[in-house]
Amino acid sequence: MVTVFKKNWLWLSAIAVIIGGLFISSSMTYHQQSLIPQLKYYLAAHPAEAQLQQIDFHYGGQEQSLKTVGYFKLVEFFIRKTAHFMVFGLLGMFSFLFLKNELRHWPLAPWIAWFVVTGWAGFDEFHEMLTGGRTALVADVMLDSAGAFCFIVITVLIWRLWVSYHQKHQRKY
Structural domain includes residue 59 = no
Q: Answer whether residue 70 is part of any domain.
A: no
Q: Tell me, yes or no, whether 6 lies in a domain.
A: yes
| Mean pLDDT of the residues in the chain | 92
Residue 26 lies in a domain: yes
Give residue 6's pLDDT band: very low, low, confident or very high (50, 70, 90): low
Residue 161 lies inside a defined structural domain of this protein? yes
Q: Per-residue pLDDT tens for 61-117?
A: 999 999 999 999 999 999 999 999 999 999 999 999 999 988 888 899 999 999 999
Distance CA 20, CA 172 (A): 46
* Residue 50 placed within a domain: no
Number of domains making up the chain:
1
Closest by CA position to 141, among listed 84, 78, 91 = 84
Burial of 155 per CB tally in 10 Å (0-12, 13-18, 19+): buried
Q: For residue 140, what pLDDT is reported?
A: 97
Q: Give pLDDT, residue 171.
A: 61
The answer to whether residue 47 sits within a structural domain is no
User: Is 148 domain-assigned?
Assistant: yes
Give one word for 164, left, alpha or beta, with left for phi > 0 and alpha for psi -120 to 50. Answer: alpha
Instruction: State the pLDDT confidence band at 9, using cuts at 50, 70 and 90.
Output: confident
pTM for this entry: 0.89
Determine the structural domain holding residue 101 and report its residue range: 2-34+81-171
